[in-house]
């Protein structure tokens, strides 16, 4: 009997398991159809989801429905904007709900979401993107009774990693709640319930381009009383933290037809000054548990009224502290005599009537006292700002009283005595007569090093004076690494830059004795951790971001430096002007002594486009050729053979192209321009060049060390190719013509044409021409050399056949003209004597035979034949290698 029971129990369990496994396949399409119906039935938006899955195992005896990548995209007037996105939406319900018939709603008992985004937008007309319900004017009351696919009977819900964004185009209010995690438990089946919630998030708040909160950490554990029929939500037991500041809330929030009705009060549960330190993020304030404080700090607030399109709730927030102090246990100094008196008030319900009064902010470290006060009114239409700042802060003492996390301790003395009063419209319109600024600010003995700094910077003295129209930097002396800089100048539109994101304008003079560019260029480093053989291995790499010239700058810098060191270049007596504007730098009249001469530059560099671009005019005056064309990579690519030339050059170079976005070096493939130069006092070292040694090995008469290069040359370059404008050289009394091109990839194709006088063709040629009684100075041979391959592996070929043909033709023509005119017989005897090819008699042992006279045609042929033979000897003497004399 027991065996039968076990058998049937096993069979039953097996059937249940098979049913649970098969259910997702049986009900999946049904669930999909219900979800589509639930969403699209009343929604005027584009809705999509990737897939729907059903599981009975994970939450048995409940069924779990998962919707992947659900999105709701707005239509006009917010076409294309995402209203809602859920990476994952989970719905839990009883298994029996799956067996309900069509028209019967499924009761959802719990829901959860992961990785969601909600965007609430209001356009300039006050229309919200969340109003996506379909509006049917012909809807009848009976239609409202139509059965729904799903019914809510939620007992608990959970939201993980939600990003909520709110933006109102009219008021310019932008709020972002990021990394929102929220969960709640309560019986939503009841019209009144207590909802137990836990919430954590980060809050960022901006109003009209001004940031008021940035990534402020929030947490709230609260019991909310919900009256779903009247839409009233009441705060009961609750505990909130803003950063580490504790707050308690009382009151309610009601949803009414016109908006939201607030009746809330909040306060700090204690009056300890630790409340103030709690406002500061923990990363900057440290652990507050052991901090010793005296005095109080309280925040009390009340919010009451209607939040609607035409009004905001009235509110009164008071922040106060009197004669407080704090001391961190591991730091030697304390901050004392702290007084804070701040109020944020609105008594009318009109947002523009809100005002902020910082009546007093004061503290003391040792004997240094710092005081500040400020007020802001009319915050929406035209904010009015009135502020005063006076006092001294010894930064060394500040670092000994507050846990500032820096690579090196703070040092220096900050002194301020500044008053300012202005309104934002005056700032926007640059109406300086309405801006009241006066006072001074100074910083001395300031040392700083940190991320993004290549070397620690030491500011010896910085003095700033404020007046209504501008800020004057009367002195700025600093050192970093081996560099020193001294700057004076003026800053215009400072408030427009700070408060309205306007362009920062300025005019500066900079002087330096020595400027090392490397002192200002810190590479970004990135440390990655990998596992190898079960052990963690850390690897630090250098990462470079694309260089961008700031769009907010509009300034002129006139600079002078005795020495500027850039990579391996030592520039002397550097001077020039830089105009920074519209994401570009314009360089004017830049001059420097380098390579034994002077280099000047005018042009611009822009990072505004997709790729940085430059357009530059360079002038090189009497600079050393070898140094300039070997140490400057761009010139080396344009003229790679220039390193074999010693001497000076005067040249102008026009060039433009793209720059590498990270290294800001020229992209040679994009380079275009031209070079015009005059070579001065030059000589050639052919043994340094494989191209020239290959050329001279083919042409023995050529000694390039004797070549005179004191002349003008011209190059053009584009699409990775450098074209040589054809030019003539004079090598002794040999005319040379050079033309061709090479690529930045070092490939080349050149033609070198020589017009070689016969006297350079060897002793054999000289003797031959002398026997012909021919004037050698009137005979020259064209020799053409073709150079291909690349600069490291050149290929040189010469046009020998053309040279032979040219010389043969000249000799034949000269001899024909000479001897035919003298007569056949005389020519016959003369040629026979000179060329040694004919004899008048042939002597044998017994008899002597006399040759018959030749015809003129025969004489002509003989002349041609002998001339060719002589030309052959000439070429043999020209191109054969000279034999070395036997050494003893």
Task: Please write the tens of the pLDDT for every residue from 535-574.
Answer: 555 555 555 566 778 888 899 999 999 999 887 788 899 9
Q: What is the CA radius of gyration of the chain?
A: 46
pLDDT recorded at residue 762: 62
The yes-or-no verdict on residue 234 having pLDDT over 90 is yes
332 is a domain residue: yes
Determine the average pLDDT of the residues in 219-226.
91
Distance CA 312, CA 754 (A): 93
Q: Are residues 257 and 397 in the same domain?
A: yes
Reference 130, options 70, 83, 76, 80; nearest CA is 83
Distance CA 238, CA 249 (A): 7
669 is a domain residue: no
476 is a domain residue: no
Can you give the residue range of the structural domain that contains 388? 243-405
118 is a domain residue: yes
> Which of 353, 380, 405 is a domain's end point?
405
Determine the average pLDDT of the residues in 505-528.
79
The answer to whether 760 touches 779, Cβ cutoff 8 Å, is no
Higher pLDDT, 660 or 839: 660
Residues near 432 by Cβ (< 8 Å), separated by ≥ 6?
Answer: 426, 468, 469, 470
Higher pLDDT, 34 or 620: 620
Helix (H) or strand (E) holding 424: helix 424-428
What does 354-370 look like in DSSP terms, one character per residue? Answer: -EEEEEEEEEEETTEEE
Cα 500–Cα 503–Cα 504 angle in degrees, nearest 5? 105
With a pLDDT cut of 90, the percent of the chain lying above it is 29
What is the tens place of the pLDDT at every residue in 626-651?
A: 888 888 888 888 888 777 788 888 99
Q: Are residues 28 and 111 in the same domain?
A: yes
3-state SS track over 807-869: HHHHHHHHHHHHHHCCCHHHHHHHHHHHHCCCCCEEECCCCEEECCCCCHHHHHHHHHHHHHH
In residues, how long is the chain?
Answer: 888
Tokens of 678: 């005059």
Q: Are residues 290 and 163 in the same domain?
A: no
pLDDT recorded at residue 31: 64
pLDDT recorded at residue 532: 54
Cα 878 versus chain centre, distance: 62
Distance CA 357, CA 374 (A): 6
The yes-or-no verdict on residue 271 having pLDDT over 50 is yes
470 is a domain residue: no
252 is a domain residue: yes
Distance CA 201, CA 242 (A): 10
Tokens of 645: 């030339």
The answer to whether 406 touches 452, Cβ cutoff 8 Å, is no
Check whether the bond before 61 is cis (ω within 30° of 0).
yes
What is the tens place of the pLDDT at every residue in 341-374?
A: 999 999 999 989 999 999 999 999 999 999 999 9
Q: Are residues 163 and 311 in the same domain?
A: no
What is the tens place of the pLDDT at every residue in 693-719?
A: 888 777 777 777 777 777 788 989 888
Q: Are residues 249 and 358 in the same domain?
A: yes
What is the tens place of the pLDDT at every residue in 747-802?
A: 999 998 888 877 776 665 566 666 666 666 667 778 888 989 988 888 988 875 56
> Which of 375, 405, 435 is a domain's end point?
405
Q: Are residues 156 and 256 in the same domain?
A: no
Determine the average pLDDT of the residues in 197-225.
85
Determine the average pLDDT of the residues in 176-180.
93
Q: Are residues 161 and 249 in the same domain?
A: no
Q: Are residues 396 and 255 in the same domain?
A: yes
Distance CA 724, CA 744 (A): 13
The yes-or-no verdict on residue 116 having pLDDT over 50 is yes
What is the tally of structural domains in the chain?
2
pLDDT recorded at residue 818: 64
The answer to whether 419 touches 439, Cβ cutoff 8 Å, is yes
- Upper half-sphere CA count for residue 362 (Cβ side, 13 Å): 11
Of 73-77, 146-150, 426-430, 704-708, which gets the smallest average pLDDT? 146-150
Q: Are residues 251 and 395 in the same domain?
A: yes
Q: Are residues 163 and 308 in the same domain?
A: no
**Does this model's pTM top 0.75?**
no
Distance CA 299, CA 269 (A): 9
The yes-or-no verdict on residue 268 having pLDDT over 60 is yes
Q: Are residues 258 and 399 in the same domain?
A: yes
Burial of 540 (0-12, 13-18, 19+ CB in 10 A): exposed
What does 725-769 look like in DSSP terms, one character per residue? Answer: EEEEEEETTEEEEEEEEEETTSBEEEEEEEEEEGGGG-HHHHHHH
Exposure string for 173-182, b = 16+ CB within 10 A, e = fewer: bbbbbeebeb
- Strand 569-581 relative to strand 712-718: parallel, antiparallel, unpaired? unpaired
- Strand 150-168 relative to strand 106-122: parallel, antiparallel, unpaired? parallel
The yes-or-no verdict on residue 13 having pLDDT over 60 is no
Check whether the bond before 824 is cis (ω within 30° of 0).
no
Q: Are residues 299 and 393 in the same domain?
A: yes
Tokens of 741: 């091109």
Distance CA 497, CA 492 (A): 9
Mean per-residue pLDDT of the chain: 79
Helix (H) or strand (E) holding 685: none
Q: Is 10 helix (H, G, I), strand (E, B) or coil?
A: helix
pLDDT recorded at residue 846: 44
Which residue is listed with tokens 């001279």? 696
Mean pLDDT is highest, among 236-240, 405-409, 482-486, for 482-486
pLDDT recorded at residue 8: 46
307 is a domain residue: yes
pLDDT recorded at residue 299: 93
Tokens of 679: 């070579």
pLDDT recorded at residue 232: 92
Q: In the chain, how long is the greatest CA-to-CA distance?
A: 157
Q: Is 642 helix (H, G, I), strand (E, B) or coil?
A: helix
The answer to whether 626 touches 642, Cβ cutoff 8 Å, is yes
- Upper half-sphere CA count for residue 661 (Cβ side, 13 Å): 10
667 is a domain residue: no
Q: Given pLDDT bands bounded at 50, 70 and 90, which one contains residue 661?
A: confident
The answer to whether 182 touches 161, Cβ cutoff 8 Å, is no
> Which of 390, 405, 420 is a domain's end point?
405
The answer to whether 402 touches 426, Cβ cutoff 8 Å, is no
Tokens of 465: 């004076």
């Amino acid at each position: 009997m027991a065996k039968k029971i076990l058998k049937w129990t096993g069979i039953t369990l097996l059937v249940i398991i098979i049913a649970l496994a098969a259910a997702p396949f049986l009900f999946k399409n049904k669930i999909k159809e219900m979800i589509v119906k639930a969403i699209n039935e009343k929604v005027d938006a584009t809705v999509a989801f990737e897939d729907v899955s059903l599981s009975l195992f994970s939450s048995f005896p409940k069924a779990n429905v998962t919707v992947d990548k659900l999105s709701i995209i707005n239509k006009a007037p917010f076409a294309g904007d995402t209203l809602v996105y859920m990476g994952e939406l989970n719905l839990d319900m009883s298994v029996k709900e799956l067996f309900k018939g069509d028209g019967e709603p499924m009761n959802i008992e719990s829901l959860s979401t992961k990785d969601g985004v909600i965007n609430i937008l209001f356009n300039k007309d006050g229309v919200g993107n969340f109003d996506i319900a379909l509006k049917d004017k012909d809807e009848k009351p009976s239609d409202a009774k139509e059965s729904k696919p799903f019914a809510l009977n939620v007992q608990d819900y959970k939201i993980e990693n939600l990003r909520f964004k709110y933006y109102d185009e009219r008021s310019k209010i932008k709020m972002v709640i990021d990394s929102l995690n929220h969960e709640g438990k309560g019986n939503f089946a009841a019209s009144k319930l207590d909802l137990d919630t836990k919430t954590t998030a980060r809050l960022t708040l901006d109003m009209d381009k001004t940031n008021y909160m940035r990534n402020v950490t929030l947490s709230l554990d609260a019991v909310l009383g919900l009256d779903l029929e009247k839409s009233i939500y009441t705060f009961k037991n609750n505990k909130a933290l803003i950063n580490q500041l504790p707050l308690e809330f009382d009151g309610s929030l009601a949803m009414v037809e016109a908006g939201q009705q607030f009746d809330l009060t909040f306060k700090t549960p204690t009056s300890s000054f630790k409340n103030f330190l709690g406002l500061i993020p923990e990363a900057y304030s440290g652990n507050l548990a052991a901090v010793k404080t005296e005095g109080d700090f309280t925040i009390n607030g009340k919010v009451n009224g209607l939040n609607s399109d035409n009004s905001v709730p009235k509110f009164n927030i008071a922040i106060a502290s009197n004669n407080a102090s704090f001391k961190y246990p591991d730091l030697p100094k304390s901050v004392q005599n702290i007084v804070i008196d701040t109020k944020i008030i609105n008594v009318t319900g009109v947002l523009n009537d809100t005002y902020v009064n910082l009546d007093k902010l004061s503290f003391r470290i040792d004997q240094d006292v710092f005081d500040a006060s400020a007020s802001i009114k009319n915050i929406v239409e035209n904010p009015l700002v009135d502020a005063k700042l006076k006092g001294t802060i010894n930064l060394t003492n500040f670092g000994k009283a507050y846990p500032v996390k820096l690579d090196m301790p703070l040092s220096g003395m900050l002194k301020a005595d500044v008053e300012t009063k202005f309104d934002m419209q005056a700032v926007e319109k640059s109406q300086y007569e309405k801006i009241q600024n006066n006072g001074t600010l100074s910083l001395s003995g300031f040392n700083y090093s940190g991320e993004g700094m290549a070397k620690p910077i030491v500011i010896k003295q910085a003095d700033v004076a404020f007046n209504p129209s501008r800020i004057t930097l009367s002195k700025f002396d600093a050192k970093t690494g081996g560099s020193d800089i001294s700057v004076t100048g003026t800053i215009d539109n400072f408030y427009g830059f700070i408060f309205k994101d306007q362009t920062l304008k300025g005019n500066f003079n900079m002087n330096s004795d020595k400027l090392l560019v490397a002192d200002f260029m810190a590479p970004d480093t990135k440390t990655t951790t990998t596992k190898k053989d079960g052990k963690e291995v850390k690897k630090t790499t250098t990462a470079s971001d694309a260089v961008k010239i700031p769009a907010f700058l509009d300034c002129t810098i006139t600079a002078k430096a005795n020495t500027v060191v850039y990579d391996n270049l030592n520039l002397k007596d550097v001077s020039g002007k830089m105009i920074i504007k519209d994401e570009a730098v314009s360089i004017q009249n830049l001059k420097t002594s380098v390579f034994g001469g002077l280099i000047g530059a005018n042009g611009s560099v822009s990072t505004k486009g997709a790729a940085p671009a430059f357009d530059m005019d360079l002038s090189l005056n009497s600079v050393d050729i070898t140094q300039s064309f070997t140490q400057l990579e761009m010139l080396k690519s344009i003229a790679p053979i220039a390193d074999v030339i010693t001497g000076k050059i005067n040249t102008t170079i026009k060039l433009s192209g793209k720059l590498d976005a990270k290294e800001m070096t020229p992209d040679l493939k994009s380079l275009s321009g031209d070079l015009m130069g005059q070579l001065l006092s030059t000589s050639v070292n052919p043994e340094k060049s494989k191209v020239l040694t290959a050329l001279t090995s083919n042409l023995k008469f050529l000694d390039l060390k004797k070549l005179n290069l004191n002349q003008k040359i011209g190059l053009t370059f584009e699409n990775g190719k450098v074209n040589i404008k054809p030019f003539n050289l004079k090598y002794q009394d040999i005319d040379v013509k050079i033309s061709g091109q090479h690529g930045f990839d070092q490939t080349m194709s050149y033609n070198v044409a020589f017009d070689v006088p016969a006297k350079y063709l060897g002793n054999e040629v000289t003797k031959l021409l002398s026997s012909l009684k021919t004037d050698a100075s009137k005979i020259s041979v064209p020799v053409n050399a073709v150079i291909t391959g690349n600069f490291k592996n050149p290929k040189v070929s010469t046009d020998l056949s053309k040279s032979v043909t040219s010389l043969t033709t000249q000799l034949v023509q000269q001899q024909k003209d000479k001897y035919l005119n003298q007569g056949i017989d005389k020519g016959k005897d003369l040629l026979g004597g000179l060329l040694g090819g004919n004899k008048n008699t042939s002597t044998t042992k017994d008899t002597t035979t006399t040759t018959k006279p030749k015809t003129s045609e025969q004489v002509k042929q003989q002349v041609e034949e002998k001339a060719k033979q002589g030309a052959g000897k000439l070429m043999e003497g020209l191109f054969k290698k000279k034999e070395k004399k036997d050494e003893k």
